């Protein structure tokens, strides 16, 4: 099946620093989604990417859909304490409309003051 | 802003008992999903549901699991005879027209603890 690997596994950064995380796939995706999950909560959709090479921003977050369709990255600029959480990439299957999502392994972000 | 809701937030049950987890998807959405997340692991797909029938299911979704949309708003997941390894967070999700049905919106989850 499709697998998504994320790196780094965890990050400890200081408030104000920029963050970059990566997601790579063993197969092609036509859509990339980035979610954030806080402890005890469900994943919250941050950004959706639909075209190879697409660069999309949502506030301090920027994500790009890799040209090969097998990778994506998420950047967070000027991190703040509320950025703490686990960031997951996800992609729908190629079986058709509204396919199941395959989630990545996650990047845990900790922000210190 | 519309959101997916789930009840209960936490369910504790004895091994072998039946549990039903409840979800109210976003009202104009057409596709519904259940996922689970074992503590410390990634989110895993269980089942998708459209037009009153299962459209896809994973290997995890065996005969002990069933889903139902009993009325126009609720979407339930039933586990017939719970096992210890069913302990996990269970998330309901739904999707509508946004992003050509690819943008799935998740509920807050039900934490299931099987003793």
- Whether the per-residue pLDDT at A93 is higher than 80: the answer is no
Per residue in A23-74, pLDDT tens?
999 889 889 999 999 988 999 999 999 999 999 999 999 999 999 999 999 9
Contact A88/B at CB under 8 A: yes
Question: B39 φ, ψ to 5°?
Answer: -50, 125
A95 in reach of chain B (CB within 8 A): yes
Following CA atoms B104, B110, B114, B115 in sequence, which dihedral angle do they give, to the nearest 10 degrees? 150
pLDDT band with cut points at 50, 70 and 90 for residue B99: low
Q: What per-residue confidence (pLDDT) applies to A53? A: 93
Sorting pLDDT into bands at 50, 70 and 90, what band is B98? low
DSSP bridge partners of A74: A21, A63
Is the alpha carbon torsion for A63, A66, A67, A70 positive or negative? negative
Nearby residues of B111 by Cβ (< 8 Å), 6 or more positions away: A40, B9, B10, B11, B88, B89
Largest CA distance in chain B: 41
Chain B: nearest CA to A78, how far in angstroms? Answer: 27
Instruction: Write out the two tokens for A106.
Output: 């996650």
- Which chain B residue has its CA at the smallest distance from A107's CA? B42
CA distance B111 to chain A (A): 8
Taking 80 as the threshold, does the pLDDT of residue A2 lie above it? no
Both tokens of B6, joined, read 């789930």
C-alpha torsion angle, residues B63, B68, B74, B80 (rounded to 10): -30
- Identify the band that residue B12 occupies on the pLDDT scale cut at 50, 70 and 90: very high
- What pLDDT, on the 0 to 100 scale, is given for residue B2? 81
Q: What DSSP letter does each residue of A10-69 carry, written as one string?
A: EEEEETT--EEEEEEESS--S-EEEEEE-TTS--EEEEEE-STT-EEEETTEEEEE-TTS
């Amino acid at each position: 099946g499709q697998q998504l690997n994320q790196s780094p596994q965890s990050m400890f950064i200081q408030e104000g620093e920029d963050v970059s995380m990566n997601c790579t796939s063993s197969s092609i995706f036509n859509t990339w989604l980035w979610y954030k999950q806080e402890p005890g909560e469900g994943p919250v959709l941050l950004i959706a990417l639909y075209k190879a090479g697409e660069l999309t921003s949502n506030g301090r977050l920027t994500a790009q859909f890799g040209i090969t369709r097998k990778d994506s990255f998420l950047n967070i600029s000027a991190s703040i304490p509320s950025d703490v959480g686990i960031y997951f990439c996800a992609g729908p299957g190629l079986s058709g409309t509204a396919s199941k999502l395959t989630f990545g392994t996650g990047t845990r972000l900790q922000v210190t003051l | 802003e519309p959101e997916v809701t789930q009840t209960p937030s936490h369910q504790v049950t004895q091994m072998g008992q039946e549990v039903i987890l409840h979800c109210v998807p976003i009202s104009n959405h057409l596709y519904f999903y259940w996922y689970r997340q074992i503590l410390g692991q990634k989110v895993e797909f269980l089942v998708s549901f459209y037009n009153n029938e299962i459209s896809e299911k994973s290997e995890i979704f065996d005969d002990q699991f069933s889903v139902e949309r009993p009325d126009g708003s609720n979407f339930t997941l039933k586990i017939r005879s719970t096992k210890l390894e069913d302990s996990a967070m269970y998330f309901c999700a739904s999707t509508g027209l946004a992003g050509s049905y690819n943008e799935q919106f998740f509920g807050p989850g039900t934490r299931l603890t099987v003793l």
